[in-house]
Amino acid sequence: MRQSSQRAVVLASVLVCFGMALPSAFADETCNSPYISSLIKGQEDFVHVWTLGVEGLGDGSDKLVTIDANPASKNYGKVVDSKSVGRRGEAHHMGFTDDRKYLWAGGLDDSRIYVFDVGTDPSKPKLIRTIADLPAKTRFVGPHTFYALPGRMLIGNLSNTADKGGVTGMALYNNKGSLVTRYDMPTATIGGVKGDGYGYDVAVNPAKNVLLTSSFAGWQNYMRELGDVIKDPEAMKHFGGTMVVWNLKSMQPTQVLSVPGAPLEIRWSLAPGQNWAITATALTSKLWLIRQGEGGSWGASEVATIGNPAQVPLPVDISIAADGKGLWVNTFMDGTTHYFDLTDPEHPKETYHKKIGTQVNMISQSWDGKRVYTTSSLLAHWDKKGADNEQFLRAFNWDGHTLTPAFEVDFTKEHLGRPHHMKFTAKANQSRTLAALVR
């Protein structure tokens, strides 16, 4: 007790004269919730990869893999940590809490949510909590998007417990891991368009008080072999074709927009004065612009084609530049990344493309856009087979014209699994939490 008091006195003696608050930002690097603090505008130190376990490979479980991404480090490009969760549940996406100290990561199959402490020592994330009550408390299945709101996490889900189809909703948890409430995706007609009830991504524009959601497919489709789904006309009917505009304050849907072909990731351009978001449709291979009209209502329009839709390139992840003037689009089937000039968002223009591998899924860029990271896995049952089933993280440097390889990690050779979603962290070189200093 005495020691604590003495440390408190020492601490107090330094907490004088100067102080600053870390403001929340309007965008992360570059696709996270606008409510997340502590942007990494310089060099990221680590890339965390939420990785699907593969039976017979390593321990076969899902794991959070941490890779050193700082060229100045002796471990640059190497795996420095791997935290297994001890089971396989179709690891998929992650999201930081608003203070960026915790990373929530979900499993699309078992609907478990893992909370990792990445703030204390980002080189060694620590699993601090497992949330297993999502299906029981919400009747939703397949937690996909983890989107920070102040003090809480909004989770966009893919499916439901009743029929494991695509009708689903969102769940709101507080940062302590307790469910606050649930929201059904609309199935009624709103603004002349009938909701399909499907869900996928969620994205907020605070200045507009608008939440946008997109739509994909239920457990019955995403846990089935892709080849079987494509050959099954009935299954192909069960993909989302809508986006929903919500009043963020009331969490009531105000418009349903028709966006056929499974609109996936949503990226707002949050530059001042901008009033649009963009998405890519997986099945129809298009870019769609969601824009606010003169009267305040929102409209969706197809603005570009990605690759050759006849060959179903399957656009999956997208990553928008910090200034909203460029967009990376990964097409899974041909393993290619495309760069679109978004200077005129009504007319995106592809200016560059590069084949990354036999398959490619996620793409993340640093805030300055100079570093681009890609991973290979889409879903366990949708990845390619045999020699085409490359599993990697490939990092590149981008000079505005060409992607130059920086490093890569072979996730099969390293006995890790199928790498999917990525998030960046930086070492807390300059600061310690108040609690750590008192200890």
Partner 1 sequence: MRRALGSVAVCLLACAGAQAAVDAGPAAAPRLEFTPLQAGTYQLQAIQPVQDATLLDEHGHPVQLRALTRGKITLLTFFYSYCVDPLGCPFARETLGMLRDRILREGALAREVRFVAISCDPTTDTPNVLARYAQDVTGDSGFEWRFITARSVPALLPVLDDFGQDVSVDVDAQGRASRALHHMLKVFLIDPRGQVREIYSLAYLQPEVMLNDIGTLYLERHTSSSAR
Report which of 216, 417, 220 is spatially closest to residue 314, judged by C-alpha positions: 216
Cα separation of 123 and 126, whole Å?
A: 10
Helices within 90-180 (DSSP H only): 134-138
Nearer to partner 1, 84 or 175 (CB): 175
Question: Cβ 117 to partner 1, closest distance in Å?
Answer: 12
Nearer to partner 1, 236 or 251 (CB): 251
329 CB-side CA count, 13 A: 35
Question: Would you tell me which residues interact with partner 1 (CB under 8 A)?
Answer: 4-5, 7-27, 34-35, 37-42, 97-99, 101, 119, 149-152, 172, 174-176, 178, 180-181, 206-210, 247, 249-250, 252, 272, 275, 428, 430-435, 437-438
Question: Cβ 97 to partner 1, closest distance in Å?
Answer: 8
Q: Are 141 and 158 in contact (CB under 8 A)?
A: yes
Nearer to partner 1, 33 or 51 (CB): 33
Name the E strands within 220-261.
Answer: 242-247, 252-258
Nearer to partner 1, 351 or 433 (CB): 433
Nearer to partner 1, 18 or 385 (CB): 18
Question: Cβ 108 to partner 1, closest distance in Å?
Answer: 26
Q: What are phi and psi of 136, to 5 degrees?
A: -65, -40
Cα separation of 435 and 115, whole Å?
A: 20
Q: Are 245 and 253 in contact (CB under 8 A)?
A: yes
Question: Cβ 288 to partner 1, closest distance in Å?
Answer: 22
Question: Cβ 423 to partner 1, closest distance in Å?
Answer: 17
Question: Cβ 231 to partner 1, closest distance in Å?
Answer: 44
Nearer to partner 1, 347 or 432 (CB): 432
Query: How many CB atoms are closer than 10 A to CB 251?
Result: 13
Question: Cβ 364 to partner 1, closest distance in Å?
Answer: 18
Angle (CA) 40 131 84, round 5°? 65
Query: How many CB atoms are closer than 10 A to CB 260?
Result: 16
User: Could you tell me which residues come within 8 angstroms of residue 6 by beta carbon, excluding any fewer than 6 positions away?
Assistant: none
DSSP 154: E
User: Could you tell me which residues come within 8 angstroms of residue 1 by beta carbon, excluding any fewer than 6 positions away?
Assistant: none
Nearer to partner 1, 16 or 310 (CB): 16
